[in-house]
């Protein structure tokens, strides 16, 4: 991401996303005794990473590098590995500033995400003037030369960045690269695999967070097609730039899980959320919970360290303030990482594998800022007992189509038929915890 009028305007687009987290209370207690005290260490407990975007020009700032050293274990070059920086003149490559970032990271034992090999934006002037087969060859040469130069030093490459249009069309972006032929993305991935076979290869984009949006569906279909035909793609990056007009969608977990189900890793690659205080912290908490709930969500990268380092510093969108102090959002993220759990997907459990068994399936219902509905469908018997368990500090405040009872903690509800069929529901006051309940079933 680069701070330009064009890039700023794109995250301010009016969105129809419904925020699942707006206005909710946030738990900002200090980490429990024995819990990890930094973002990287907390993420590593579940096999994930927690990274940040780094600018070479700030590596002389001791506050900046102190936080970088302490809190993060993955590094992305903010602009220094993009096309205009690495190939300012055709076939004349410049790696000085990118090397500063890569070497700084590797010397501290951190891994590096390569960003980005092919993109319609931030092309050098000579490339902007090219079209057709000449451009195709120049693009493939760039991918090959840059990926080869860093071969063995990069954890994952954003091979192609932002190739789809916003809006309802689901179309590819009408860029000079797209005009070289619809197979240009595939060609870039194949070139990257040949040049750096040990790195994960990712497609990266923004406004692909809401599962119902046409752009999300278009990217999903492309990944599905690539996987079916053996095109080398290992991961999908979700930039995750959010603000009040474009909040974290209520189906964010669904989006991550559906992509992961295609057999690719999912990574949150450029996270920043405009705002402050508990509202911002709750949004960060929701994103982190969604990643933690998807086993193939391998890590989170925030796009900058302090608010003053951000490409949209006016929105104070990061985890540290201008002076390097931890914000409420930091604590909410750290707590979720230390919990080892997220907002889980539908849970289906059976009491036995035979036809006399019982299966309960959970599905999400409506959501509000302070509560959400859940629905349970029972199959296998009309004589069932379902156990619903919620996570502290959640409380079930209403039920329908069942006769419920609770244990002494109030966190475990036992539901039985009340003559209204085999589907029942309940409302959970989440009190800042959006984790979905677990359900299990047995025959009465």
Active site (catalytic) residues: 162, 270
Query: Exposed/middle/buried for 250, CB within 10 Å: 0-12, 13-18, 19+?
Result: buried
Strands 395-400 and 384-389, by their bridges, are unpaired
> Is 275:318 a contact under the CB 8 Å cutoff?
no
End-to-end CA distance of the chain, in Å? 57
Q: Is 159 left (phi over 0), alpha (psi -120 to 50) or beta?
A: alpha
* Runs of H (alpha helix) within 16-73: 39-44, 62-71
Q: Which of 114, 13, 11, 104 is nearest to 65 (CA)?
A: 104
Q: In degrees rounded to 5, what are phi and psi of residue 32?
A: -65, 155
Report the distance separating Cα 112 and Cα 76, nearest Å. 6
Report the distance separating Cα 292 and Cα 256, nearest Å. 10
CA distances from 252 to 19, 143, 234, 276, 435 (A): 10, 31, 20, 21, 13
């Amino acid at each position: 991401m680069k701070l330009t009028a064009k890039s700023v305007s794109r995250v301010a687009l009016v969105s129809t996303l419904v925020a699942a987290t707006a206005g909710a209370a946030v738990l900002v207690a200090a980490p429990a005794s024995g819990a990890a005290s930094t973002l990287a260490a907390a993420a590593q407990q579940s096999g994930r990473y927690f990274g940040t975007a780094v600018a070479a020009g700030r590596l002389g700032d001791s506050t900046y590098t102190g936080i970088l050293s302490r809190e993060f274990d993955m590094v992305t070059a903010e602009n220094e590995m993009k096309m205009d920086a690495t190939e300012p003149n055709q076939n004349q490559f410049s790696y000085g500033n990118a090397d500063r970032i890569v070497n700084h990271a590797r010397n501290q034992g951190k891994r590096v995400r390569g960003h980005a090999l092919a993109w319609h934006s931030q092309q050098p002037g000579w490339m902007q003037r090219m079209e057709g087969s000449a451009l195709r060859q120049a693009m493939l040469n760039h991918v090959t030369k840059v990926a080869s130069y860093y071969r063995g030093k990069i954890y994952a490459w954003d091979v192609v960045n932002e190739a789809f249009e916003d809006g309802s069309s689901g179309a590819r972006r009408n860029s000079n690269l797209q005009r070289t032929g619809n197979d240009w993305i595939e060609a870039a991935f194949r070139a990257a695999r040949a040049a750096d076979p040990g790195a994960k290869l990712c497609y990266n984009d923004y406004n692909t967070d809401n599962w119902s949006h046409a752009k999300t569906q278009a990217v999903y279909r492309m990944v599905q097609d690539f996987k079916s035909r053996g095109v080398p793609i290992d991961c999908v990056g979700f930039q995750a730039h959010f603000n009040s007009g474009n909040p974290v969608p209520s189906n964010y977990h669904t989006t991550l899980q559906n992509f992961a189900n295609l057999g690719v890793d999912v990574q949150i690659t450029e996270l920043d959320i405009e705002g402050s205080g508990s509202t911002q912290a709750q949004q960060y908490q929701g994103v982190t919970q969604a990643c933690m709930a998807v086993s193939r969500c391998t890590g989170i990268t925030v796009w900058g360290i302090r608010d003053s380092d951000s490409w949209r510093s006016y929105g104070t969108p990061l985890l540290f303030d201008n002076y390097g102090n931890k914000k409420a959002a930091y604590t909410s993220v750290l707590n979720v990482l230390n919990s080892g759990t997220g907002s889980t997907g539908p849970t289906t459990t059976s009491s036995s594998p035979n036809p006399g068994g019982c299966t309960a399936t959970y599905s999400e219902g409506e959501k509000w800022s302070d509560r959400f509905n859940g629905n349970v469908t029972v199959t296998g018997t009309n004589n069932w007992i379902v156990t619903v368990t919620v996570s502290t500090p959640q409380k079930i405040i209403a039920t329908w189509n069942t006769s419920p009872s609770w244990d002494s903690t109030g966190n475990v509800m036992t539901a039985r038929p009340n003559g209204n069929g085999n589907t029942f529901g309940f409302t959970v006051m989440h009190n800042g915890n959006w984790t979905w309940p677990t359900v299990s079933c047995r025959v009465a």
